[in-house]
Amino acid sequence: MEIRAAVAKRFGEFALDASFTVSGERIGLFGESGSGKSTLVGMLAGLLQPDGGEIFLDGECLFSSARHINVPPEQRRIAIVFQQPSLFPHLSVKSNLLYGFRRSAPAHRTIDFAELVDALRLEGFLDRGVGNLSGGEKQRVSLGRAILSNPRLLLMDEPLSALDDQLKYQIIPYLRIVSERFGIPYLFISHSLVEMRLMADQVLVVAGGAIAGQTTAEELARDRMGQSPIGYINLIRVTDPRRRDGMYAYRWGEVELLVSAGSDQPEALFELSSRDIILCKQHPEAISARNLLTCTVVKTFASGSRVGVELSCHGERLLVEVVDEAATELGITAGCEIFAAIKAASFRRLA
């Protein structure tokens, strides 16, 4: 999927002037609130008319002010999942799901209803009204409704922002699996770096109504590590929990991690800030941190006034942030061995 756009739009004081070409199946649109992300989404979907410019999707012109082309939203085959599920309250779950499907051209209908219902685990809800669904269930129905319209592009405009953390990380696998399983490319819009890293490969950065850059989600997170108040968030997927001394021992690749906030779920996702990891040049004989990992330095990089240290712990990646002085004292260079100490309480469970 390729989007090529050069568009301008003015609303009073705010002006958007964005020009970009991006291709891929999992594209992110990252920016702070008010940067122009949703305006751009509205213009791509045909819900908002640019003042000027042009938009192409896979070579097809959707909008061109010069050629007086403006394909209406219902003909663009671009479905949207918004922050709020916006389900039709007068229709059942099934009728909501089939709203777009019934309006799609038979030639485009490649998605099987039963398969989608199974993928989103909506079997038990089909005949219900939408009023009694939970927030997560509503967002799953909203996603299913968009996918069933057989779009060629799915726009996800901050679809997780209205959900609490627990629900958010329950929904993310659905967002990814459904679009991958049914082969629908997506543009994921968010102001959260963690969400970007979980959802997107290529990322367009929007700032002040313009495209500030194009990068990968990982690079973006590393670049912003030094300025972010929470540093870089390591996303750690672990398995096989066992209770031990009031904590949970998890398997992380070949390494064992002790975590305070564990659960008996067989798989879990934790976040760990790059600032919650202490590096030691030599093995400390005794330390209060319950995790002491032997790592190899892969590389170091500058991020703002800080130094980022990428570690390999038996093949698993970990990013640590230290100040310049500490990096010099520790003599950190690529290839050297180092110990990373992490308190069991520093891990925050996401899912």
Partner 1 sequence: MLTFAPSDYEAITLSAKVAVTATLLSLPFGFLLAYLVTFLSFRGKTILEVFINLPLTLPPVVIGYFLLLLLGRNGLLGGLLEAAGIRIIFTWKAAVIASAVVGFPLLVRSIRIGMESIDRQMINVSRSLGARWHDTLVTVILPLSMRGIIAGSSLMFARSLGEFGATIIVAGNIPGVTQTIPLAIYDYAGSPGNEQVALSLCIVSVVLSLIVLILHEVAGRKLAGSG
Q: What is the dihedral of CA 319, 330, 346, 254, to 10 degrees?
A: 60
Indicate the DSSP class of residue 36. Answer: S
Please name which of 158, 157, 154, 133 lies closest in space to residue 145, comparing C-alpha atoms: 154
Q: With contacts defined by CB under 8 A, how many residues of the chain interact with partner 1?
A: 26
What distance, in Å, lies between the first and last C-alpha atoms of the chain?
30
Exactly one of 12, 59, 131, 246 binds partner 1 (CB under 8 A); which one? Answer: 131
Please name which of 44, 45, 145, 48 lies closest in space to residue 102, comparing C-alpha atoms: 145
φ, ψ (nearest 5 deg) of residue 19: -135, 125
Indicate the DSSP class of residue 344. Answer: G
Footprint (CB under 8 A) of partner 1, residues 137-166: 145-146, 149
Please report whether residue 84 would count as binding partner 1 according to CB under 8 A: yes
Please report whether residue 23 would count as binding partner 1 according to CB under 8 A: no
Question: Residue 19 contacts by C-beta under 8 Å, 6 or more apart in sequence?
Answer: 5, 6, 7, 53, 211
* Lookup: tokens for 303: 């991020």
Q: Which helix (H) or strand (E) holds 325?
A: helix 324-330
Coil, strand or helix: which one is 154? strand
CB of 47 to partner 1, least distance (A): 5
Instruction: Show the binding pattern over residues 28-57: x = contacts partner 1 (CB under 8 A), - = does not.
Output: -----------------xxx----------
Exactly one of 78, 172, 187, 289 binds partner 1 (CB under 8 A); which one? Answer: 78
Please report whether residue 10 would count as binding partner 1 according to CB under 8 A: no
The residue among 97 and 259 lying less far from partner 1, judged by its C-beta, is 97
Footprint (CB under 8 A) of partner 1, residues 94-113: 99-100, 103-104
Residue type, 27: I
Q: What is the dihedral of CA 83, 6, 219, 325, to 10 degrees?
A: -110
Interface with partner 1 by CB under 8 A: which range of 5-13, 79-87, 183-191, 313-321? 79-87
- Note whether 139 and 28 are within 8 A (CB): no
Exactly one of 7, 29, 40, 80 binds partner 1 (CB under 8 A); which one? Answer: 80
Please report whether residue 125 would count as binding partner 1 according to CB under 8 A: no
Exactly one of 12, 33, 90, 282 binds partner 1 (CB under 8 A); which one? Answer: 90
Exactly one of 2, 32, 60, 74 binds partner 1 (CB under 8 A); which one? Answer: 74
**Look-up of token digits 């410019």:** 53
Please report whether residue 169 would count as binding partner 1 according to CB under 8 A: no
Please report whether residue 290 would count as binding partner 1 according to CB under 8 A: no
**Look-up of token digits 């909203």:** 142
CB of 69 to partner 1, least distance (A): 18
Please report whether residue 76 would count as binding partner 1 according to CB under 8 A: yes
The residue among 162 and 330 lying less far from partner 1, judged by its C-beta, is 162
- Positions in the binding site for partner 1 (CB under 8 A): 45-47, 72-74, 76-80, 82, 84, 86, 88-90, 99-100, 103-104, 129, 131, 145-146, 149
